[in-house]
Amino acid sequence: MASSTFLLLLLTITMVMMNVNGQQVGSASWCVVRSDASFNALQTALDYACGAGADCLPLQPDGLCFLPNTIQAHASYAFNSYYQKRARAPGSCEFSGTATIAQTDPSYGSCVYPSST
């Protein structure tokens, strides 16, 4: 009986450790824009992310992630940079409701979105 209880406890602890805040520990995730976010809200959030530590150099005209030159593409990259630099902390992918967590790598061509696992 004691060994069964111990095994059940061990299994429960293992499952809790594998899943933190609804997100698989060790699984990659990215912070990207929500498809319903408005231009103005995205611009405000992009300005915040770049001013608060996101790496926005790749979004400059000569950067690897400048194209496509859209607010959605630029905000997604900046949001993700901010999110990753904060170790995917809860609340670091909010941006006033303009962002969401993605489990699919949004990288394209030579524009590689950082991830941490």
Is-contact 21 92, C-beta < 8 A? no
Domain ranges of the chain: 28-102
Per-residue confidence in pLDDT tens, the chain, 117 aa: 565 544 444 443 444 333 344 444 459 999 999 999 999 999 999 999 999 999 999 999 999 999 999 999 999 999 999 999 999 999 999 999 999 999 999 999 999 999 986
pTM score of the predicted model: 0.78
